């Protein structure tokens, strides 16, 4: 049976970042991906925003890895000429109750280490975004956008240049602990022995851990919260990212620009029981109502159905936001097996900080 030092299961942005990090540290790494290419699931169905780290709870993994990850990501993009722009973001309060929340965001952001946030009055808001209606706003200059596909392609190239290997169209079906390592069986029956296995399968992480033989009492339930995006048919009226006050499960139906200048609105939050990326357009009036609170001139006819993405959640509907969960062999109760759960937003931003964390954890053994 073939023997491998490290197997990373899943080639989304976080899996690729971890694989690259371990290869750079001299480990012999194989990535196993069930799809025909890298980044075909959550990593290509998101807002492509580099978050600054405002919303996340004190001392959370999200707060730490988002703030550090944004720094690393801007530096990575700069040194490799990967398209990204630090265009800044406005979080807009549309009434005086919401204004209180902006103060709370400012305090939370500062506790998380986001140092450049500024509260704006209506005149200052109008100077930055004349089309946006609001009684106040929080300006986050360090928020930006990135071409996430170019980023993933770069991670993969650096991984391969450092002797990493990747196989596609190969799903990991099961795993079994042996005295020589974890025996992995692929969907086609092929078997492989690995010293270290890192489960970075996003929406499938709980299921994959169960199949690897991870102690079931340690595996969090992964729940799904789908988000829809509408693209805006007219020229963008905004030069910055524009966000409303966040909800518990998402950041509110916000306006983001991609690197080509295309404006899109979304995502909303729809809790679903099975993985399904279909787009139910019956919510268009809800979208329109939500957007008009901060962009009153919107014409609903300018909203065109775009795409959906699904957040892997480790909390249920109505509960406070969960944190990223990283389990080492101590927590999985399986020698050599690491697992990441609930890697929703800001996982793209945090990817290079998460990979450094995993690099330290794996290499200390
Ligand atoms: C709607 C939405 C908006 C978001 N917006 C942002 C944003 O603006 N900024 C930000 O920082 N983050 C954002 N995120 C979060 C970010 O997209 C994710 O955190 C990130 O993409 C997760 O990457 P991943 O590698 O963990 O998972 P994924 O990209 O889901 O990759 C997992 C991979 O595992 C593979 N796989 C699954 N099962 C198996 C198996 N058995 N064998 C082999 N391979 C398997 C899958 O095919 C997939 O390729 C958003 C997320 C969503 C849903």
What is the per-residue pLDDT across 58-72, written as a single tens digit (0 to 9) for each? 999 999 999 999 999
Residue 163 domain-assigned (yes or no) = yes
One domain for residues 137 and 229: yes
CB 311 near ligand 1, within 6 Å? yes
**What's the pLDDT at 1?**
87
CATH of the domain at 252: 3.30.9.10
Residue 68 domain-assigned (yes or no) = no
One domain for residues 229 and 298: yes
One domain for residues 329 and 288: no
With a cut of 90, say whether residue 247 has pLDDT above it: no
Exposure of 11 in the CB half-sphere (CA atoms within 13 A): 31
CB 93 near ligand 1, within 6 Å? no
Angle in degrees, CA 72, 104, 128, rounded to 5: 70
Mean pLDDT of 33-44: 98
CATH of the domain at 199: 3.50.50.60
One domain for residues 240 and 104: yes
CB 348 near ligand 1, within 6 Å? yes
Q: Return the bridge partners of 327, or none.
A: 339
2-9 and 191-199 strand pairing: parallel
- Name the residue of 169, 202, 353 to mutate for ligand 1: max ligand atoms within 8 A of Cβ: 202
Place of tokens 């775009």: 306
Residue 76 domain-assigned (yes or no) = no
Looking at the structure of the chain, the number of domains it has is 2
Give the number of the atom of ligand 1 that is nearest the alpha carbon of residue 16.
25
One domain for residues 252 and 267: yes
Distances (CA, A) of 107 to 53, 111, 243, 251: 12, 6, 18, 17
Residue 269 domain-assigned (yes or no) = yes
Domain that holds residue 25: 2-45+149-221+321-363
pTM of the predicted model as reported, rounded to 2 decimal places? 0.98
State the CB neighbour count (10 A cutoff) for residue 11: 29
**What's the pLDDT at 288?**
97
Q: CA–CA separation, 236 vs 314, rounded Å?
A: 35
CB 172 near ligand 1, within 6 Å? yes
The residue nearest atom 28 of ligand 1, judged by CA position, is 12
One domain for residues 245 and 197: no
Residue 81 domain-assigned (yes or no) = no
CB 349 near ligand 1, within 6 Å? yes
Sheet holding 84-85, edge to edge: 49-50, 144-146, 84-85
Q: Where are the alpha helices (DSSP H) in 162-220?
A: 205-211
How many whole angstroms from 86 Cα to the centroid of ligand 1? Answer: 23
Residue 257 domain-assigned (yes or no) = yes
Q: Return the bridge partners of 29, or none.
A: 6
Q: CA–CA separation, 162 vs 156, rounded Å?
A: 10
């Amino acid at each position: 049976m073939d023997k491998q030092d490290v197997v990373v299961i899943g080639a989304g942005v976080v899996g690729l970042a971890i694989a690259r990090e371990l290869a750079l540290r001299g480990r012999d790494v194989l990535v196993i991906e069930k799809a025909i290419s890298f980044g075909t699931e959550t990593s290509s169905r998101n807002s492509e925003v580099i978050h600054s780290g405002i919303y996340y709870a004190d001392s959370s993994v999200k707060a730490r890895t988002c703030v550090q990850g944004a720094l690393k990501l801007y530096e990575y993009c700069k040194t490799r000429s990967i398209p990204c722009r630090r265009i800044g973001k406005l979080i807009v309060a549309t009434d005086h109750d919401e204004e209180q929340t902006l103060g709370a965001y400012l305090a939370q952001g500062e506790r998380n280490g986001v140092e450049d946030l500024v509260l704006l009055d209506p005149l200052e808001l109008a100077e930055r975004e004349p089309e946006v209606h609001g009684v106040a706003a929080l300006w986050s200059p360090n928020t930006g956008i990135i071409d996430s596909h170019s980023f993933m392609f770069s991670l993969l190239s650096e991984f391969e240049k450092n002797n990493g290997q990747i196989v596609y169209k190969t799903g990991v079906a099961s795993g079994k602990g042996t005295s020589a390592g974890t025996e992995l069986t692929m969907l086609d029956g092929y078997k492989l022995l690995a010293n270290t296995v890192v489960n970075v399968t996003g929406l499938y992480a709980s299921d994959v851990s169960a199949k690897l033989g991870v102690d079931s009492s340690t595996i969090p339930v992964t729940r799904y919260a789908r988000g829809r995006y509408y693209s805006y048919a007219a020229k963008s009226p905004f030069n910055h990212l524009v966000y409303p006050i966040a909800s518990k499960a998402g950041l509110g139906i916000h306006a983001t620009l991609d690197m080509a200048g295309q404006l899109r609105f979304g995502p909303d939050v729809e809790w679903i029981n099975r993985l399904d990326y279909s787009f139910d357009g019956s919510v268009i009036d809800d979208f329109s109502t939500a957007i008009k609170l901060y962009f009153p001139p919107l014409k609903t006819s300018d909203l065109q159905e775009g795409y959906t993405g699904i957040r892997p959640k480790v909390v249920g509907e109505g509960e406070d936001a969960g944190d990223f969960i990283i389990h080492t062999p101590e927590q999985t109760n399986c020698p050599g097996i690491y697992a990441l759960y609930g890697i929703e937003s800001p996982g793209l931003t945090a990817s290079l900080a998460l990979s450094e964390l995993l690099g330290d954890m794996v290499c200390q053994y």
